[in-house]
Every structure is written in C-alpha cells, then in structure tokens.
A and B are shown apart, each in its own frame.
Chain A
Amino acid sequence: MTATRTPCPSFGELADYWTSDITPDEAEQIETHVFDCERCARMLAEADRLRVGIRDLARSGNVQAFVNDAVLNRLARDGVRVRSYALDPGETVRCAVWADDDVIVARLRADFTGVESVDAEMRFDTGEEWAQATDVPVRKGETELVLALPAGLVRNAPTVPMRLTLRHSAGSSGERILAQYVFHHEGALERP
C-alpha cells in the first residue's frame, strides 16, 4: 500500500517552517511530507543551516544593513558592542572606531514625509564611492533610518571626511536629495 504524497513545498515554504509565521496545521503538513520525502528533508535541513548562518553572522556584527531597534536590542542582548552616532540633516560629526567596537550605527534623522523608500550612498571627499544602498524601505511616520556597519569595515576605511546622502527615488519626477550627513572619520583608536 502506498500513500499519495502531497506535492513538494517550495524552498521558501519549507523555510517558513523555521519562523514564527507558520501555523501548527502548516507545520504538520510539512512534517508529514518531509517524513515521506528525503529530498524535501534535505532542503529543510538546508533552510535550517541558512537561518542559523544568518543568525550567527548578525550576532558577529559582520553585516551591513539598515536595521531597526529590534535588531539593536538583540545585539545588545547578545553582548555585541555597538557605538552609535545620531545625526540631523546637514550635520557633521567627528567619529572613530575603538578597538572593542563590533558594530557602528548611524542614526540618520530626516523628514521622510511622503517617502516610501530611499537610496543611500557614502562617498569620500575625493568623490570615490564607499558604499551604497537602493530601495531602503521607510515606514510611514518614520523620523530616522538606522544604518549598521561592521566595525571592522569602518576601522579599515581611510581617515578622510565621508558624505552620506539620502535620496528619495521619486520615479519619473527624478531623485531628490532628502538629507546629507558628513562623518569626519578619525580612524581606529585604542584606549590608553
């Protein structure tokens, strides 16, 4: 006697098994399928390795991303050393990285009224681009974006002023600059 096997879930659907989004019924369906399908069992294991890898990478602070307080709170709980700089539009800040920093955070304040997403770029004073990001989502009512950078990356950056520009990509009407910030990077410092 052979039971009729349900169709194989997609990798994404299998990966949902490892999130809090899956309902008990959905989890049961996946379990029933996986216990009859070795290929999907391997993919479920792969999805587990991927989520653990992403979690461990984030915990190491070696991720460059726009984040929110949920991620910062988790970093704090995990003992990751975070140094924060908060800037208003047009502001210049003197900044540095200390030897025990793991993550550098820039809190970029601006008026995001009517803005759903922004593009960001960081350039040295020489004009050379250092980093850029496109389509950064902006929640309605947001007053700041939080950029997290690996301290190791910033530590190795040249000690020259860096300009960060946020642009609102307004479709056919073209981009407009929302805010600019200047970081006077003073290098990697050690406590006496």
Chain B
Amino acid sequence: MTLTPSSHGLYRSVVTSSRATPLSACDDGVLARAVSGASGEDASDAETELYRRFAPRVRLFGLKHLSDRAAADDLAQQVMLVVITRLRTGEVREPDQIGSFVLGTSRMMVAGKKRGERRRAAIFARFDAHEEAVDPANDLALDGSRLAPCLAALRERERTILLLTYYADKSAPEIAAAMGMTSGAVRIGRHRALASMRDCIETRRAS
C-alpha cells in the first residue's frame, strides 16, 4: 500500500468534522494510516489511541513470554515506541494490518530479550552472581475479599482444578492423573469454573 496525503486527510476529516467519528470508534487501520507519514504533533491523538489499544496487548504478550510484570511493562513501552516511530517515518507498509505489525514487533523484541537474558544468565553463572527476583505489585489484581466467596462457591472438584492449575502450576494431564479424571474433563471443568467465577464476580460487583 502506498502512503498518500489522502490517507492522512482521511484521519483529519474524521477527527475535525463537527460530525466526527470519535477516535475510539475508528478502526485500527484508520488510526495507523493517520499516524503514518504524519508529524508527531499532527497525529498525537491517533498515536495516543493506538497506544491505549495496543500497549495492554503487548503487555499481556510479554507476561506470557517473559513471565515478569516489570519486563512486560518495559516491553509494551519499547514495542509501542518502535511501532509509532516506524509509522511516522512511513516504514510500515500496510498500516491496515497494524495488529500484525505490533505482534511481529513484539515477537522480535521478546526473542531479543530472551537471547540477552541467556547471555546475562551465563555471565551471572560464570561469576556466581545472585539476583533477587522482583515481582512488583499487580495494581490490577482482583480484590481477594471479592474473589474468596466466588472460589468458595465452586464445586469441590472445580476449585481443586483451579488451585492445581494456577497455584501449583500443574498441567491438565498432571491434574487428571492426580484427580482420576481425563485431561479433557480437567479442561472442561476449568472452563466451567472460570465462567462461574466471572459470573459471580460480576454479580457481586453489580450488587
């Protein structure tokens, strides 16, 4: 896709008209095209909206692959900086596929971080250095007092499945062996338990 002034103009008409579509309602591609090739000031609102949408997804991706909340936060900032910079300089060939571009950038940066981590671990091992793992407080954590009654309300086997999954870090086959069930039944039980938990938390929040 060739970037033309019209792609930027589309964004401007969207956000400046009196009947403008709010940025929050724009497609990801519309926002990306707005940033693409624009100066930072022109497209700052679109950049902010892109950041709002994608930084949390990158953070989740980082949590999965780096298993560290602080590292995931850093990753989100670094990836979004690269994405917005490349959009501004017109280096993103298909702004309509911005989701794929952000995911690809996230994968590359995680791979780089893991390589760096392996090198760092090797150096630490060589010099017998030690480092305290830090797990920063999760400011988005669910309130335990709201969660506890919902966990208590589950069927016994579902509660055990959740504890073995999320606390003891056991896989479905391991849980199945421990509980005399099949792996499929464990996964179904886990899905059912989580659905019940969501409903319960939502009900308690509403009341």
Contacts and interface: CB of A to CB of B under 8 A. Distances in A.
Interface of A: 1-3, 10-13, 15-21, 27, 31-32, 34-36, 38, 41-42, 44-60, 62-68, 70-71, 73-74, 116-117, 133-140, 142
Given A19-B165, A21-B172, A27 B64 contact: yes
Contacts of B159: 63, 65
B138 to A, nearest CB: 6
Contact of B179 (A19, A41, A50, A137): A137
Majority SS at the chain B contact face: helix
Contacts of B197: 50
Given A57-B148, A139-B179, A63 B99 contact: no
Interface of B: 1, 28-29, 53-54, 56-57, 60-61, 63-64, 94, 96-97, 99-100, 102-103, 138, 140-144, 147-148, 151-152, 155-157, 159-160, 162-172, 174, 177-181, 183, 187, 190-192, 194-195, 197-198
B43 to A, nearest CB: 20
B54 A35 contact: yes
Contacts of A136: 156-157
A20 to B, nearest CB: 5
Given A12-B195, A15-B190, A138 B180 contact: yes
Contacts of B172: 19, 21
A52 B143 CA distance: 11
Nearest to B173: A21
Contacts of A19: 165-166, 171-172, 190
Contacts, number: 165
Given A15-B194, A54-B151, A41 B60 contact: yes
Contacts of A54: 147, 151, 162-163, 166-167
Contacts of B166: 18-19, 51, 54-55, 58
Contacts of B171: 19-21
Nearest to B194: A15
**CB-CB nearest 8 A-B residue pairs:** A12-B191, A53-B142, A58-B167, A139-B180, A35-B99, A36-B99, A70-B168, A35-B103
A21 to B, nearest CB: 5
Contacts of B54: 35
Contacts of B64: 17-18, 27
Given A27-B64, A35-B54, A137 B164 contact: no
A140 B157 CA distance: 15
A21 B169 contact: no
A35 to B, nearest CB: 4
Interface centre among A16, A45, A62, A137 (most CB of B within 10 A): A137
A17 B174 CA distance: 17
